[in-house]
């Protein structure tokens, strides 16, 4: 046969149009995450599939808009049965999933984040349950697909119902995949229709691979869909992980109930990761504190931190619900710890670390403080919740601790519902990697992960309890038991206090940390925080530690020296949750509390610029995210710091600027306004400024006038977030009708305005001259000073609470991620606050350059910007000016002293220092020396410095109850007397006023507080005790008041030098009077004891004493004084022919601070000395007689506390050391 010819001439090949694109596209991407996160999601049946499904639905909506709802989504993955000749997929687009997707889309902020609330979690739960039910029905053959197909095929072509059913025959979107399939790298779903999308997912241990196969309209938008799906998978995963954690903890119902309460009782209360306020908890007088461990070098990003905080909040909610319903503290701590054990994030229960052999050995303890009962288990391997086993040991055995298989057998023998779990339950990827790192020689010195979980609680019956659980240390030896299992080491509770610890368990065991904290609290009167800090400082030097504690009064402390600690608490109805990152040091601090600190800005905008913040790197980045009590505390702190700056820098007022931080804890900036007159007058910035979005800073400059329509639109947008946006305004004015400033007129409705909010006491309105959209002014309905920090406390608190509420409204109404705040007050002399919504920057917006600014005086506006770095000397001078404590010398005016002292920091500091002096003195003599305290009278007929030779003071005589007596100048004689009341009593002491009659001066007082002791032994023994007391007292002062000493003395060198000398057990130098005299550089350094009578001996003047003090480096004993220059009762130095006395003065600070001497041991010696000093014997017969009854060799000394404090504070006038003066010729009140 011949081939057929096909002429091709004249046939042209059609050219492809350059505008046409392929309508079939395949895209692939991976989404990585932590293996344990994927494992947790897979652990909830069907959750992995729902996560992908809901993410896809959200992405389709964001990519295709409202038309996405018309696309049918099916999941053929679940096909199991065949009916009527066809298979039945799952139709996964449901009413509840659409509702969830709508909320997710609307709640996504401009910065592409979602606020994961309990409401959102509940929507997810409902959609997920529906999703699971549909799958279950599909797998059981009860799906609707076959029936719909049969119905569709039976209908006539013109039947409208058939048109509705057509999409079921050819769905637009196919989703299929598997949650874990290792070894398979790709799988593509086929598309066969004109407009169709196939989405395939392949789960791996540490990622999920997504394959998108699109055709038609889906091909054209596939790249955008890929972008949105990648983003939404991350967002919805964070929701799914929260759901999985809450489900593992058994907390879903509890969380949903909590959410309903918050909506019912407090719909507008803020709810953040850092604090919530619920009206349902008004009067909630129970307390619960939990922790998830303390550790170092925690590499936590914000998302991980948020998940940890969610888990803590969930565990806290479970425990607090028990307390709220009247349950016991014991049940509450157990429930919270159980929840933490159920979560892979914490080193307890499911998240426990591995021992060296790759097994989990866990321990737990629970303590009932009310009944002084406890139960502990250790080295358990198959118990899901070790804390439950510990409870069983406490309540169902006669033991306090059971270890290993015995504990497991006890639990099973009691018929508990809990079944043993295998090693696979406890396996987590992160703990396995930690073990490998440890075995491969990783850092064994650092505590790189949280160590324990714990809880302490106080219930409505005032009963305390504590619970703790842990997996121990990574790579520990088999059988190791840590502090968590030992009451008194890592945990403690009694009727007064409950304590739970976290840290290096072996160190805690050796130091019985929890018991030491409790002991200081019980036996030394320490507060909980003080007790924790002392134990950490003294016993845990360099060891990572964290402690939570609560006492019977409801006082709560969370104290740690670690880089991070996971904590949550509920006190007074307010819950707080935080991955706590304490800042350990600040520079140039001018004010602080346990929670807050204010320090000079090293880059000041104006001289004295100060930053007020929490003592943590973590926490809310906005003050408007704080729980209300914490918000109030911080703003009250701002008021205190402002008043301090005004007082010390001599400015009329301070402005306050808060601009939300991009990371870290919120910072308030306090700016002294220099160069202003005392009388108020307006000051305005010269230039205007406007930005349509957040620039990273804020200021108080005005912007150009907005047109009325634009203001009205913004007003409507904000008011739409109110419960009643169309409610009529109230124009009540609570001030004087004659007030005519602009704000008063706006409140009364006399001026055009754009009001956005009001209550009975305050009004908020838009300014027509904003520098950012939505800038709002909040004012009280009465005329109050524009210097907000000078408002009365009640007015100030009311204004800041109104400001808090308006800030929440602006965030919601303007969809603003945050709001800035400004106090200034130089536009209108009427109290007002400016709130500046910080709107997200649109894509492609030009970045506004932040230039450093510095103004020596107030320029008419304030700003959150930093200035150029200040030189260290300038900062130091300002710091000294602010912090230096100066004596006000208010005692010079007796009439006003009492009022001025109350307000003065010098006397506030002195009060605390005197308190420490008293308690430290008692501690030294009672605990260190075992001396007995003597209760001595104030009156006597036997004065220690009688009018005779050697008298060194003038006694004070009074006529009392018909008798002429003396006010005691010293109770040394009484101490000698009391020393004979107990066999072998080593010593007696007292602290009491003494009286002297000389005219007061810089070194003498008429009434002063005297510390005196009398002891068995000679003068050397007395000197040793005195030096020990000086060391003990000074060390206590440094420990508790080093900041006050530094701010007054300007240095701590004098104290540290003294301690360093004496820490080596080296006694202070001693020099005899004769030798000292030979060293004096001039005649005015010494004088005769009796003017013009050399017979009675010599003594040093104050100048001479200072010469010796300087020569011997700050402190020296002057010994062997001329006997006729001291009182009669001092013993004679042997071999001196009764010329020298066994007496010594400690020269310190102003001069003589301690007077010391050895006593005559026999009656004969006393008589001889009285005669020698020409003192009548009559009043001293009893003094002679007691030596006949009980002869003793004793010595003693006395210290004027005011002179010691002058040395401590490096001050030159003892008259400034009395809060309530008593001086000759002057009358003081009280």
pLDDT per residue as tens digits for the range 1014-1023: 999 999 999 9
CB 649 within 8 Å of CB 672: yes
Q: What percent of the chain has pLDDT over 70?
A: 91
* pLDDT for position 1091: 83
Based on C-alpha coordinates, what's the Rg of the chain? 40
Q: What percent of the chain has pLDDT over 90?
A: 75
Is residue 18 scored above 50 in pLDDT? no
Catalytic residue list: 452
* Strand partners of residue 460: none
In the structure encoding, which two tokens stand for residue 1010, read together?
């005297």
Name the CATH superfamily housing domain 896-1217.
Bira Bifunctional Protein; Domain 2 (3.30.930.10)
**For residue 91, what is the enclosing H or E element?**
strand 90-91
In the structure encoding, which two tokens stand for residue 835, read together?
């709130």
CB 994 within 8 Å of CB 940: no
In the structure encoding, which two tokens stand for residue 1211, read together?
């001050």
Residue with tokens 């005016």: 893
Is residue 12 scored above 70 in pLDDT? no
* Nearest Cα to Cα of residue 364 among 478, 487, 536, 544: 487
* pLDDT for position 372: 87
Give the number of C-alpha atoms closer than 13 A to the C-alpha of residue 455, restricted to the C-beta side: 37
Please state, in angstroms and rounded to a whole number, the distance separating the CA atoms of residues 244 and 1018.
Answer: 76
Residue with tokens 């020569």: 1111
* pLDDT for position 442: 64
**Averaged confidence pLDDT in the chain:** 90
For residue 442, count other CB atoms closer than 10 A to its CB: 15
Is residue 640 scored above 90 in pLDDT? yes
- Tell me: the pLDDT tens digits for 309-340? 999 999 999 999 999 999 999 999 999 999 99
Mean local confidence (pLDDT), 843-864: 87
Domain ranges across the chain: 24-246, 271-580, 589-841+852-874, 896-1217
Name the CATH superfamily housing domain 589-841+852-874.
HIT-like (3.30.428.10)
* Strand partners of residue 374: 367
Give the number of C-alpha atoms closer than 13 A to the C-alpha of residue 973, restricted to the C-beta side: 25
- Tell me: the pLDDT tens digits for 342-351? 999 999 999 9
- Residue 541 to residues 507, 564, 1141: CA-CA distances in angstroms? 10, 17, 47
Strands (E), 628-720: 654-658, 667-672
Report whether the peptide linkage leading into residue 267 is cis, meaning its omega lies within 30 degrees of zero.
no
Burial pattern 20-34, b for ≥16 Cβ within 10 A else e, equals: eeeeebbbeeebebb
Is residue 84 scored above 80 in pLDDT? no
In the structure encoding, which two tokens stand for residue 65, read together?
């808009």
Please state, in angstroms and rounded to a whole number, the distance separating the CA atoms of residues 926 and 981.
Answer: 17
First-last CA distance in the chain: 137
Strands 987-995, 932-933: pairing is parallel
Residue with tokens 């996971």: 566
Please state, in angstroms and rounded to a whole number, the distance separating the CA atoms of residues 173 and 187.
Answer: 16
* pLDDT for position 85: 42
In the structure encoding, which two tokens stand for residue 933, read together?
């305290």
- Tell me: the pLDDT tens digits for 32-55? 999 999 999 999 999 999 999 999
Of 180-184, 450-454, 463-467, 1163-1167, the range with the lowest mean pLDDT is 180-184
CB 196 within 8 Å of CB 174: yes
Please state, in angstroms and rounded to a whole number, the distance separating the CA atoms of residues 1135 and 1214.
Answer: 39
Q: In what order do the strands lie in the sheet with 932-933?
A: 932-933, 987-995, 1007-1016, 1194-1200, 1151-1158, 1143-1148, 1115-1119, 1070-1072
* pLDDT for position 81: 43
Q: In what order do the strands lie in the sheet with 497-503?
A: 491-493, 497-503, 545-551, 556-560
Strands 1070-1072, 1115-1119: pairing is parallel
* CATH of the domain spanning 271-580: 3.60.20.30
Please state, in angstroms and rounded to a whole number, the distance separating the CA atoms of residues 172 and 188.
Answer: 16
Please state, in angstroms and rounded to a whole number, the distance separating the CA atoms of residues 89 and 119.
Answer: 30
Please state, in angstroms and rounded to a whole number, the distance separating the CA atoms of residues 123 and 131.
Answer: 12
CATH class of the domain whose range is 24-246: alpha beta
Please state, in angstroms and rounded to a whole number, the distance separating the CA atoms of residues 1210 and 1034.
Answer: 13
Q: Where is pLDDT greater, at 213 or 948?
A: 213
Contacts 24+ apart (CB under 8 A), 844-849: 845/693, 848/691, 848/695, 848/696
Is residue 515 scored above 50 in pLDDT? yes
* pLDDT for position 24: 65
- Tell me: the pLDDT tens digits for 533-589? 999 999 998 788 999 999 999 999 999 999 899 999 999 889 999 989 888 789 999
* Strand partners of residue 1196: 1014, 1157
User: What three-state secondary structure class fits 1212?
Assistant: coil
- Tell me: the pLDDT tens digits for 707-746? 999 999 999 999 999 999 999 999 999 999 999 999 999 9
Report whether the peptide linkage leading into residue 504 is cis, meaning its omega lies within 30 degrees of zero.
no
* pLDDT for position 160: 80
638: left (phi over 0), alpha (psi -120 to 50) or beta: alpha
CB 320 within 8 Å of CB 570: yes
For residue 491, count other CB atoms closer than 10 A to its CB: 32
- Tell me: the pLDDT tens digits for 349-376? 999 999 999 999 999 999 999 988 999 9
Confidence of residue 1069 (pLDDT cuts 50, 70, 90): very high
Dmax (CA) for the chain in angstroms is 164
User: What three-state secondary structure class fits 473?
Assistant: coil
Dihedral sign of CA atoms 896, 897, 900, 902 in order: negative
Residue with tokens 């995963």: 237
* pLDDT for position 560: 93
* pLDDT for position 108: 78
* pLDDT for position 143: 65
- Residue 869 to residues 280, 413, 470, 609, 886: CA-CA distances in angstroms? 49, 70, 47, 12, 29
Please state, in angstroms and rounded to a whole number, the distance separating the CA atoms of residues 242 and 338.
Answer: 17
* pLDDT for position 7: 55
- Tell me: the pLDDT tens digits for 140-177? 766 666 666 667 777 787 888 777 777 676 788 989 88
Please state, in angstroms and rounded to a whole number, the distance separating the CA atoms of residues 609 and 613.
Answer: 13
Is residue 952 scored above 80 in pLDDT? no
């Amino acid at each position: 046969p011949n081939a057929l010819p096909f002429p091709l001439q004249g046939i042209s090949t059609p050219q492809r149009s350059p505008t046409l694109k392929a309508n079939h596209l395949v895209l692939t991407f991976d989404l990585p995450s932590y293996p344990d996160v994927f494992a947790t999601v897979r652990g909830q049946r069907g959750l992995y599939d729902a996560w992908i499904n809901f993410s896809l639905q959200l992405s389709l909506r964001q990519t295709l808009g409202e038309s996405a709802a018309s696309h049918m989504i099916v999941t053929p993955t679940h096909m199991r049965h065949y009916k009527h000749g066809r298979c039945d997929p799952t139709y996964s687009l449901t009413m509840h999933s659409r509702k969830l997707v709508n909320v997710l889309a609307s709640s996504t902020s401009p910065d592409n984040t979602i606020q994961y609330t309990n409401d959102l979690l509940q929507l997810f739960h409902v959609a997920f349950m529906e999703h699971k039910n549909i799958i279950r029905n599909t797998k059981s053959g009860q799906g609707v697909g076959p029936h719909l197909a049969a119905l569709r095929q039976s209908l006539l072509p013109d039947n409208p119902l058939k048109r509705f059913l057509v999409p079921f025959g050819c769905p637009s979107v196919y989703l299929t995949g598997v949650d874990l399939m290792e070894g398979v790298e790709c799988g593509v779903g086929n598309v066969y229709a004109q407009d169709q999308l196939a989405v395939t997912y392949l789960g791996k241990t540490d990622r999920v691979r997504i394959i998108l196969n699109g055709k038609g309209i889906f091909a054209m938008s596939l790249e955008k869909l890929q972008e949105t799906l990648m983003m939404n998978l991350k967002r919805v995963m964070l929701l799914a992980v929260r759901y999985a954690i809450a489900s593992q903890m058994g907390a879903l119902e509890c969380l949903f109930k909590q959410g309903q309460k918050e909506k019912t009782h407090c719909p507008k209360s803020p709810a953040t990761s850092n604090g919530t306020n619920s009206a349902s908890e008004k009067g909630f007088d129970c307390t619960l504190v939990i922790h998830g461990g303390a550790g170092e070098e925690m590499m936590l990003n914000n998302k991980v931190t948020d998940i940890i905080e969610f888990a803590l909040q969930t565990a806290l909610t479970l425990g607090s619900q028990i307390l709220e319903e009247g349950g016991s503290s014991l049940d509450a701590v157990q429930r919270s710890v159980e929840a933490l054990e159920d979560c892979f994030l914490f080193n307890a229960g499911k998240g426990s670390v591995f021992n060296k052999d790759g097994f989990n050995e866990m321990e737990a303890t629970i303590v009932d403080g009310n009944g002084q009962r406890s139960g502990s288990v250790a080295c358990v391997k198959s118990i899901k919740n070790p804390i439950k086993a510990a409870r069983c040991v406490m309540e169902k055995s006669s033991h306090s601790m059971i270890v290993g298989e015995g504990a497991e057998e006890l639990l099973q023998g009691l018929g508990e519902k809990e079944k043993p779990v295998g090693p696979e339950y406890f396996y987590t990827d992160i703990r396995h990697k930690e073990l490998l790192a440890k075995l491969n020689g990783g850092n064994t010195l650092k505590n790189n992960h949280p160590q324990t979980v714990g809880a302490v609680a106080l219930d409505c019956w005032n009963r305390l309890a504590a619970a703790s659980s842990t997996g121990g240390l990574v790579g520990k030896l088999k059988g190791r038991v840590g502090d968590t299992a030992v009451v008194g080491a890592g945990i403690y509770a009694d009727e007064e206090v409950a304590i739970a610890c976290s840290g290096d368990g072996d160190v805690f065991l050796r130091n019985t940390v929890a018991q030491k904290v409790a002991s200081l609290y019980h036996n030394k009167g320490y507060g909980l925080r003080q007790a924790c800090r002392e134990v950490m400082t003294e016993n845990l030097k360099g060891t990572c530690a964290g402690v939570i504690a609560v006492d019977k009064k409801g006082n709560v402390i969370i104290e740690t020296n670690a880089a991070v600690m996971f904590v949550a608490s509920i006190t007074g109805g307010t819950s707080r949750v935080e991955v706590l990152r304490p800042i350990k040091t600040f520079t140039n601090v001018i004010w602080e509390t346990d929670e807050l600190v204010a320090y000079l800005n090293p880059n000041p905008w104006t001289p004295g610029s100060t930053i007020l913040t929490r003592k943590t790197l973590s926490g809310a980045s906005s003050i408007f995210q704080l729980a209300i009590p914490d918000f109030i505390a911080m703003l009250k702190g701002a008021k205190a710091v402002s008043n301090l700056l005004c007082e010390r820098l001599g400015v009329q007022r301070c402005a306050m600027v808060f601009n939300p931080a991009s990371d870290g804890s919120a910072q308030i900036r306090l700016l002294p306004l220099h160069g202003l007159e005392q009388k108020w007058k307006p000051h305005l910035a010269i230039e205007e400024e406007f930005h349509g979005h957040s620039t990273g800073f804020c200021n108080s400059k005005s912007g150009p006038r907005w047109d009325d329509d634009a203001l009205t639109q913004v007003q409507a947008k904000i008011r739409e977030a109110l419960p009643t946006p169309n409610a009529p305004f109230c124009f009540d004015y609570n001030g004087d009708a004659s007030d005519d400033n602009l704000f008063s007129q706006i409140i009364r409705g006399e001026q055009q305005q754009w009001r956005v909010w009001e209550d009975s006491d305050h009004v908020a309105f838009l300014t027509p001259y904003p520098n950012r959209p939505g800038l709002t002014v909040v004012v009280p309905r009465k005329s109050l000073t524009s210097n907000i920090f000078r408002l009365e406390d009640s007015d100030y608190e009311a204004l800041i609470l109104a400001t808090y509420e308006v800030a929440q409204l602006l965030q919601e109404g303007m969809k603003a991620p945050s709001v800035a705040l400004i106090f200034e007050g130089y536009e209108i002399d009427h109290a007002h606050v400016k709130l500046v919504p910080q709107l997200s920057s649109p894509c492609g917006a030009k970045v506004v350059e932040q230039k450093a600014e510095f103004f020596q005086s107030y320029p008419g506006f304030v700003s959150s910007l930093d200035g150029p770095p200040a030189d260290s000397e300038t900062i130091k001078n300002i710091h000294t000016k602010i912090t230096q404590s100066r004596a006000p010398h208010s005692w010079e005016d007796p009439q006003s002293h009492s009022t001025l002292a109350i307000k003065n920091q010098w006397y506030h500091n002195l009060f605390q220092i005197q308190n420490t002096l008293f308690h430290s003195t008692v501690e030294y003599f009672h605990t260190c020396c075992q001396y007995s305290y003597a209760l001595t009278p104030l009156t006597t007929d036997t004065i220690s410095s009688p009018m005779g030779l050697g008298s060194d003071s003038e006694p004070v005589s009074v006529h009392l109850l018909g008798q002429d007596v003396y006010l005691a100048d010293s109770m040394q004689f009484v101490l000698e007397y009391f020393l004979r009341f107990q066999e072998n009593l080593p010593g007696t002491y007292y602290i009491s006023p003494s009286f002297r009659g000389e005219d007061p001066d810089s070194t003498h007082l008429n009434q002063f507080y005297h510390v005196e002791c009398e002891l068995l032994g000679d003068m050397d023994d007395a000197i040793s005790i005195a030096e020990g007391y000086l060391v003990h007292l000074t060390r206590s002062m440094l420990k508790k008041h080093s900041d006050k000493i530094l701010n007054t003395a300007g240095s701590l060198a004098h104290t540290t030098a003294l301690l360093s000398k004496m820490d080596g057990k080296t006694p202070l130098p001693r020099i005899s009077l004769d030798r000292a005299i030979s060293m004096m550089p001039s005649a005015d350094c010494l004088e005769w004891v009796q003017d013009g009578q050399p017979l009675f001996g010599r003594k040093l003047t104050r100048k001479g004493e200072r010469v010796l003090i300087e020569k011997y480096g700050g402190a020296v004993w002057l010994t062997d004084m001329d006997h006729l220059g001291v009182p009669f009762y001092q013993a004679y130095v042997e071999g001196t022919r009764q010329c020298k006395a066994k007496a010594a003065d400690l020269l310190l600070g102003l001069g003589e601070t301690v007077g010391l001497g050895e006593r005559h041991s026999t009656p004969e010696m006393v008589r001889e000395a009285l005669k020698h000093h020409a003192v009548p014997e009559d009043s001293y017969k009893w003094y002679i007689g007691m030596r006949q009854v009980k002869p003793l060799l004793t010595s003693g000394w006395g210290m004027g506390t005011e002179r010691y404090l002058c040395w401590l504070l490096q001050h030159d006038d003892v008259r400034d050391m009395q809060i309530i003066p008593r001086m000759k010729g002057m009358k003081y009140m009280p």
